[in-house]
Structure 1
Amino acid sequence: MFLRLLLLITAICGSVGCTVPDTTPLKQWRHVEEGAYAADISADGTIAVVSGVDNGINVWRIGESEPLYRWGHQSEGNNLVVSVHISADKRYVVTADRVAFALWDMETGEPVGFWRIDESNIRDVAVTNNGRGILVARSSGKVMFFEPSTQRRLEFLGHQEKVNSIDISPNGKYALTGGNDYLAYLWSTETGQILHTFTHPTRVTKVALDDEGRFAFTADSQSKSQIWNVQTGQPVSSLNYIARQKIFTDVEFSKDGKYLLTGSPSRKAYLWDIETGDQIQSIQVAVRETISPPTSVVYGVGFLPNGNIVTESSSGLAEVWQRER
C-alpha cells in the first residue's frame, strides 16, 4: 500500500512539476524574536524591512547580524505596522498601519513624511523609485496616488468594493489594483485612465507588476492565478496547481523574465515557470513557535544576485534556499 501511494505521489508530481518541500535552508538569520506582522524584500534580495511584534520596524542587510535602522510610527506603545514596501531602486520604503503611512529615506534612515488617512482603513501601500509617488489602497475601494514633494493627489475610483492588493511601476506611471469586485485594473497615475481590465470569478486577493515592465500577476480567492502581458493585456499563462484554492502573500518576477516566485500564508514559497505556469519548486519555511498550531506566513520572497531564493516570514527568520535549476 505504501509503495502504491509513493508511486501515485510521484506520478502526480511528475505531471504538475512539483518537488518535495525543502525544509533545510542554506542559511538562516533571526530578524524578530516574537514574530513579524509584515515584511518586504528588495528586488535584488539584499535588503529586508521587517515589522516586528515586539521591536518596531527594522531594516536589515540580508546576512548581517545587526539592523541598519530601527524605525517606529509611534514614539510609545505597540507597533501596529502591517504593510511594508521597498522601492525597486532600494532608496525609499513606505510603511503603514491601518490609519497612517510613512515614507523613509534608505540613505539616511530618516523619515521623509508621515500622513494620516481621514477615511476608511489602509489596506496596502507601494512606493516608486526615488520616493516620487506613494500608492495607498483603502477599504472604501478608493486608491490614492500621492506625490510627497508636490503634494499632488489623484483618487482612483474604479473599484466598487474593498481593495485588497496594489502595486506600482518603478517609474510611478502605472498602478495595478485588485479588489472584492472581482476585478483588477492597470491604470495611469497621471490621468487615472484604465489601460487594462483583468476579470476574475471571485474577489482578487493579490496583484503584482514586473519591475521590467513585461508582466502583471493577478490572483483571486479560489483557483485563477494569471500572468498577463502588460503591453497587450492578454494572458501569458495560468499557474498550474491541483488545490482548489491558493492564496498568495508576496510575488516577485525574476529579472530575466523566466520565473515567478510566490509566498503563501501556509509556510510555503513556490517557484513557477512564467511561460508554462508550471510549478518548479516548493519551499517550506520555519514555523513561528509561539502560536498554536505552529505555522508561518511567508511575507517576503526574493531572488538573490546568485539566483538563489530568500524568504522572510512571520517566524521572524530570513532564510536562503538553493533554487532548483
Structure 2
Amino acid sequence: MSNLWKIPCYFVLICMLLTACGELTNTAEQTFHHADEGIDAANISPDGTLAVISNLSNGISVWDLAKNEKRYIWNHQGEGNNLVVNIHIAFDNSYAVTSDQDAFALWNLANGEPEGFWRIDESNIRDIAVANQGNGILVGRSNGKVMFFEPRTGRRLEFLGHTEKTNSVDLSPNGFYALSGGNDYVAYLWDTRTGQVVYKFDHPSRVTKVALDDEGRFAFTADSKRDARIWDLSTGREVSNLRYFERQKIFSTAVFSKDGKYLLTGSPARRLNLWDVQSGDEIKSWRVTPRAGSQPQTAVVFAVGFLADNKVISESSSGLAEIWPIQSN
C-alpha cells in the first residue's frame, strides 16, 4: 500500500483518466418499475432471483426477479404508513426479516406468511440479518448492543463489545458468526454461540457498513472517511483497501461474488461499483437512474446482486430494478 504514494502525481492522474473515464455506465440493459413513488429499503437474494422492497404507502413487496412478478405483499405493523427501513433475505431464500426502528418480523418466503413479530423497547433498531431457515436473527441497536435471537428456541444472546451506536450488521448463513460495526471505530467478527470475539477490525473513523462473504472467506468493513477494507477470515489480516479518489465514499450495500473474486457495492450517490477483492482496484462503475423529481438528481442504491451471464442488478430509491452488463458491448 505504501508504494502507491511513491508514484508521481502526474502519473496517478493519467492512470485515473485512463481507467476511470469511459468505465462509468449510465444506461441499464434492462429496467423494471417496482414502485412508482420510490422505495425506502430493499434487499436482493444472494442468487439474484428475489428482491424484497419497502415503500412508505404500499407496504413491503416480494418480487420474482426472473419473471419480474410480484409474489407477495406484506404489512409490517398492519395498516397505515409502512416505516420499514431494514430488510435481509437468508442465503437459502427461505426467510426474510424486516424492521422499522421499533420492531422486527420474520417472514416465510415459501408461503409468504409471517412467523413472528418482536418489539424492541430500550433502543432503536439500526440493522438486521437472518440465517438460513430463519434459525437466527441478528439485530443491531442504537445503544451499541447487538442481539442474536433464535425464534424457535427463544435463546437470546447480547453482544456488548461496542461502546457506541451500532450502524451495520451481517450474519453467516449458518448463523454461527456475526459481523458488526459501529460509531466506536471498530468492527467485530464474533461467535453467536458464545459471544466471543474472533477478530477485531480497527478503523480511523465510524464504521458505517459491514458485509460477510456467504462462503466464509472474507469480510468487508467501511468507515465514514477513507477506509473500505476487505479482510481474510482465515487469518484476520487485511486483503485489500478499496482504491478510490474521492475524499469520502459512503457504502449503502455490499456483496461478494460466489467465486470470491469480486465485491459489488452501492452508494447513496447513485453509484454501483465492482471491485477486485485481491487488489482493491475498481473494475467498473455504473450510475443508477435518479429518483423522479429529486433535486439534485440522485438515488440511494439499497441493494445489489450478481446475475448469470456476467451481469449485475441493483434496486434503488428510484423504485427501479436495473440490470447492468459487466462487459461493455
Per-residue Cα deviation, 1:272-317 (whole angstroms, up to 9, x for no partner): 0001100000000001013322210000000012231000000000
Aligned equivalent of 1:264: 267
What RMSD in Å do the two structures reach over aligned CA positions?
1.7
Question: After TM superposition, where is structure 1 displaced by more than 6 Å over at least 4 residues in a row?
Answer: 7-10
Cα offset, 1:19, TM superposition: 4.3
Match of 2:294 among 276, 288, 291: 291
The residue number in structure 1 matching 2:158 is: 155
Structure 1 partner of 2:24: 21
Cα distance in 2 between the residues matched to 1:52 and 1:8: 46
> What is the alpha-carbon distance in structure 2 between the residues aligned to residue 15 and residue 188 of structure 1?
44
Change (3 A) 1:251 1:315: same
Q: Partner of 1:187 in structure 2?
A: 190
Structure 1 CA distance, aligned partners of 2:159 and 2:301?
29
In the other structure, the counterpart of 1:302 is 305
How far is the alpha carbon of 1:52 from its aligned partner? 1.2
Shift of 1:118: 1.6
SS at structure 1 position matched to 2:315: strand
1:117 equivalent in alignment to 2:108: no
Equivalent residue for 1:4?
none
- Contact 1:260–1:271 (CA under 8 A) maintained in structure 2: yes
CA contact (8 A) 1:251 1:262 kept: yes
Quick one: distance in 2 between partners of 1:233 and 1:202? 19
Q: Does 1:89 align with 2:92?
A: yes
Q: In structure 2, give the amino acid aligned to 1:68.
A: R
1:2-13 aligned at under 5 Å gives the runs: 11-13=14-16
2:264 pairs with 1:281: no
Gaps of 5+ in 2: 1-9
SS in 2 for 1:244: coil
Contact 1:44 1:305 in 2 (8 A): no
1:126 maps to 2:124? no
Structure 1: any 5+ residue segments left out of the alignment? 1-6
Does the Cα contact within 8 Å between 1:280 and 1:324 map onto a contact in 2?
A: no
Q: Is the 8 A contact 2:210 2:219 kept in 1?
A: yes
Corresponding residue number in structure 1 for 2:82: 79
- Which of the pair has the greater relative contact order for Cα pairs under 8 Å at 6+ separation? 1
Q: Which amino acid aligns with 1:158?
A: G
Q: Give the aligned residue type for 1:90.
A: N
Question: 2:148 corresponds to which letter in structure 1?
Answer: F
Task: Please give the per-residue CA displacement for 1:174-221, whole angstroms capped at 9, x wherever unaligned.
Answer: 000000000000000000000100000000000000000000000000
Change (3 A) 1:279 1:190: same
CA distance in 2, matches of 1:16, 1:135: 39
Q: How far, CA to CA, are the matches of 1:282 and 1:161 in structure 2?
A: 33
Partners of 2:21 and 2:281 in 1: CA distance = 8
CA contact (8 A) 2:310 2:327 kept: no
Task: Give the count of matched residue pairs.
Answer: 319
2:216 to 210, 213, 218: 213
Identity across aligned pairs (percent)?
A: 58
Q: What amino acid maps onto 1:253 in structure 2? A: F
CA shift for structure 1 position 46: 1.3
TM-score, normalising length from structure 2? 0.94
Work out the CA distance in 2 between the residues paired with 1:157 and 1:18: 45
DSSP 3-state at the match of 1:89: coil
* Aligned-partner Cα distance in 2 for 1:18–1:210: 29
* 1-structure distance, mates of 2:293, 2:102: 28
